[in-house]
Amino acid sequence: MLGNILSIIAGLALLMWGADRFVHGAAASARNLGIAPLLIGLTIVAFATSAPEILVSIVAALQKEPGLAFGNAIGSNIVNIGLVLGLTALIRPIALESATLRREMPALLAVSLLTVSLFLDTYLSRIDGFVMLTGLVIVMIWLARLGVRSAANDPIAMDYDAEIPTDVSMVMAVVWLIIGLGTLLIGAELLVDGSIGIAKRMGISEVVIGITIVAFGTSLPELAVSLASALKGEYGLAIGNIVGSNIFNLLAVIGVAAAIHPSALAPSVLSLHIFVMVAFTLVLFAMTYDYDGKARLSRTEGLALLTAYVAYDIYVVMQNI
């Protein structure tokens, strides 16, 4: 058990550092190629931020444990909204001023409902996986078009412009990209091995481990980015990071896992976890909807999200002890 715990801790540390370097290298490479900062943020950074979840999904599916990947995707979305946005808004209320971000929110809701529709037969086939990966390509194209059409003075565009590195040479950007990817692969391997070991020793499902430990760990990069962005007043980046990451978590993480290793879903996924994820998404959509021209995530709403997340996690742990 101690060896498994150490494997998880080492895996999480490598995933956090590797994700930071991978995003840094990917963003710097794109900027050196002359791609607009908003386009980089909406596509490359959003995709790269989900790299820990995607690589954990690939490793888990190759080890014939897709339940860990499915739990990771669902759990990460819950963590991102409940813990990351809840804690961020509690520390500093998040103003939603970006028109681009308001267009992304319905896309997240649509992707969440697509996921539910594919889950209803309690089996994720290879065809389901390819449907989600096709959806990923469509969303990437749509986000690219959105980035091109969006106004240059959109607050989220200025946030990305401030954060994407400008003083990194192409060679160093590629070096960091490769180092980050390699570190992510090693971290994902350690995290998956340790998680599977603990699940077997404790007699609980890989889905539960994925929804709790793995989801929390792979969402730590998003937590760091959102907190830092909010404290710097980059509110569009604080919430935009989460919306983009959640879209890619569902389409890429679940899509890859199902394409590699089709699998039946644990009953608890359909009866509880997927609906909790959709509920969090709907609540976030309602909280950030522009009713009066002053869309924002207040401290009270942040506390409500955080409380709901803690209650859900306690319930899941108590049900599986």
Reported confidence tier of residue 221, pLDDT bands at 50, 70, 90: confident
Which position has the higher pLDDT, 96 or 137?
137
Can you give the pLDDT at residue 238?
Answer: 77
Which position has the higher pLDDT, 268 or 134?
134
Which position has the higher pLDDT, 156 or 211?
211
Q: Is the pLDDT of residue 66 over 70?
A: yes
* Separation between Cα atoms, residue 164 and residue 166, nearest integer Å: 7
Q: Is the Cβ–Cβ distance between 317 and 205 less than 8 Å? A: no
Can you give the pLDDT at residue 311?
Answer: 95
Q: Is the pLDDT of residue 321 over 70?
A: no
Can you give the pLDDT at residue 199?
Answer: 78
Q: Is the pLDDT of residue 201 over 90?
A: no
Can you give the pLDDT at residue 255?
Answer: 93
Question: Lowest-confidence range among 93-97, 263-267, 297-301?
Answer: 93-97
Percentage of residues of the chain with pLDDT beyond 70:
96
Domain extents for the chain?
2-320
Q: Is the pLDDT of residue 183 over 60?
A: yes
Q: Is the Cβ–Cβ distance between 318 and 95 less than 8 Å? A: no
Can you give the pLDDT at residue 132?
Answer: 95
According to DSSP, the residues that pair with 296 across neighbouring strands are 95
Q: Is the Cβ–Cβ distance between 26 and 45 less than 8 Å? A: yes
As assigned by CATH, the class of the 2-320 domain is mainly alpha
Can you give the pLDDT at residue 74?
Answer: 92
Which position has the higher pLDDT, 37 or 133?
133
Q: Is the Cβ–Cβ distance between 307 and 142 less than 8 Å? A: no
Q: Is the pLDDT of residue 290 over 70?
A: no
Query: How do strand 123-124 and strand 263-264 relate by DSSP bridges?
Result: antiparallel
Can you give the pLDDT at residue 275?
Answer: 92
| Long-range CB contacts (within 8 A, 24+) of 308-314 | 308/82, 308/86, 308/280, 308/283, 309/78, 309/79, 309/81, 309/82, 309/83, 309/86, 309/280, 310/82, 312/78, 312/82, 312/276, 313/212
Percentage of residues of the chain with pLDDT beyond 90:
27
| Average predicted confidence (pLDDT) for the chain | 85
Query: How do strand 296-297 and strand 94-95 relate by DSSP bridges?
Result: antiparallel
* Separation between Cα atoms, residue 70 and residue 61, nearest integer Å: 10
